[in-house]
Amino acid sequence: MLLKLAWRNIFRNKRRSLITTSSIIFAVLFAVFMRSLQFGAYGNMLDNIVGSYMGYIQVHNKGFWEEKTIDNSFSVEEIEHLTSSENITYLSPRIEGFALASFKDESKPVALLGLDAATEKEHINLDEKVVEGHYFSAEHKGLLVGKGLRDIMKLKLGDTLVFLGQGYQGSMASGLYPIVGFIDLKTPELNKRTVIMNLDHAQELFALPGLVTTALVGIDGDDWQGAQQEVIAAIDTNALEVMNWQEMLPELQQLISVDKAGGTFVLMILYSIITFSLFGTVLMLTEERSFEFGVLVAIGMGKNKIIQVAILETILMAIAGVIAGLVLAFPIVLYFNINPINLSGQMQEVVEKFGFEALIPTSLDPSIALTHSGIIFLIVLVVNLYTIFKIKSLNPTTAMRK
């Protein structure tokens, strides 16, 4: 009976219901979109720098992180047994070296990355980052060159790069390799200095038969902390070192932490604005209904019954507003996930100066929508305590004179 009465009250005064519901819809839409944008930016940074390049967990020779030389290498056989673990899905052995790359009159120092073509294609989708030409293979001595380096050295498909550097234990590393493709690593700094070749050819170039400098550990799920401890327990830590992305990139972790704190502060301001906005709406509508409440009390309806009806009205409008807000937010968030915001001008220069891609996609994490719609639902219930207080202290004679 009370639910039916509350339902009728909502439609009896459509203007009042529309004002309240619209406030809730706007609050949900704005909060979900803003937070999705923020977490999307974090995810994009981690995916570009950590997921595709550094790895969430990395194994290397002790001392390699402090002195990244070819001599600090190890045999991949020492860690092959890790793939038998349920939480570890794959190992991606790599060689990280440096050499001078020359083409015609142009010479540039580059980071040479030796990768297993099949592993990177299957687990990291490196082939999807090729923007021109085709993916490299173990059969041919082809190179993938960062698109930034392509522009700097004015390279084309089929051109040959000459490498000169230092190999294992002071040996000479030199060779000629054709370019089969150009790649977008999504990070301007990496694009300007990275050249990728197959692992076997990198081992041949640097005279490292059977040796690698690093190995990325692919994990099942998001528990990289637990996986790191599992790897540490399974290898010889006197010879090898296991690091996670936060240890390898403390600056990135600090940047995300500071930005999250700033985002939380902005969100608190947003929630304060939403709270006062909703309270203003509730205050106005409660005063508008004083005569109605006074009449109901005067004809014998108990205040507790009126409060129950008012609470049911609030819950129904809050549910409708939250659902409508989520329905409107989803296509907007999806659109900006597929078509990220492309920063331009000075903002683009600032972002790329720090080595990040000047794109901000939104996150499709459902927990963002559920969390913030739930918070706004609670805010709506809290601000409607004023209505309860007003009904409790209502004097029907005074209310009916208004």
Q: What angle do CA 130, 135, 141 make, to 5 degrees?
A: 130
Q: Residue range 119-133: average pLDDT?
A: 87
Q: How far is CA 153 from CA 136, 149, 260, 318, 336, in A?
A: 20, 6, 39, 60, 34
Cite the beta strand spans of 20-136 per DSSP E.
Answer: 57-61, 74-75, 88-103, 106-115, 130-133
Q: What is the pLDDT of residues 344-367, one digit of tens each?
A: 766 666 666 555 667 788 988 899
Q: Residue range 106-115: average pLDDT?
A: 92
User: How far is Cα 315 from Cα 27, in angstroms, rounded to an integer?
Assistant: 16
Place of tokens 């790069």: 161
SS3 state of residue 343? coil
Question: How many C-beta neighbours within 10 Å does residue 92 have?
Answer: 21
pLDDT of residue 350: 63
Q: What is the pLDDT of residues 54-83, one digit of tens each?
A: 778 889 998 888 888 888 899 888 888 888
Confidence of residue 100 (pLDDT cuts 50, 70, 90): very high
Examine the pLDDT at 297 and tell me if it is beyond 80.
no
Q: Residue range 389-394: average pLDDT?
A: 74
pLDDT of residue 3: 65
* Pick from 156, 196, 152, 160: nearest CA to 178: 160
Computed over every residue of the chain, the mean pLDDT equals 83
Per the CB < 8 A criterion, the answer to whether 124 and 92 are in contact is yes
Domain ranges within the chain, ordered by starting residue: 2-49+252-401, 92-217
Examine the pLDDT at 29 and tell me if it is beyond 80.
yes
Q: Residue range 136-140: average pLDDT?
A: 81
Encoded amino acid at 96, one letter: E
Examine the pLDDT at 338 and tell me if it is beyond 60.
yes
pLDDT of residue 52: 65
> CA dihedral in degrees (164, 68, 226, 36; nearest 10)?
-70
Q: What is the pLDDT of residues 271-292, one digit of tens each?
A: 888 788 778 777 777 776 677 6
Examine the pLDDT at 402 and tell me if it is beyond 70.
no
Per the CB < 8 A criterion, the answer to whether 94 and 73 are in contact is no
H or E stretch covering 293: helix 290-298
SS3 state of residue 213? coil
Q: How far is CA 68 from CA 95, 176, 202, 237, in A?
A: 11, 24, 16, 18
Per the CB < 8 A criterion, the answer to whether 173 and 206 are in contact is yes
Q: What is the pLDDT of residues 147-162, one digit of tens each?
A: 999 999 999 999 999 9
Q: How far is CA 22 from CA 18, 274, 320, in A?
A: 6, 12, 10
pLDDT of residue 204: 92
pLDDT of residue 199: 92
Per the CB < 8 A criterion, the answer to whether 97 and 206 are in contact is yes
Examine the pLDDT at 319 and tell me if it is beyond 70.
yes
pLDDT of residue 236: 84
**Where is average pLDDT lowest: 77-91, 134-148, 286-300, 319-333?**
286-300
User: How far is Cα 395 from Cα 402, in angstroms, rounded to an integer?
Assistant: 11
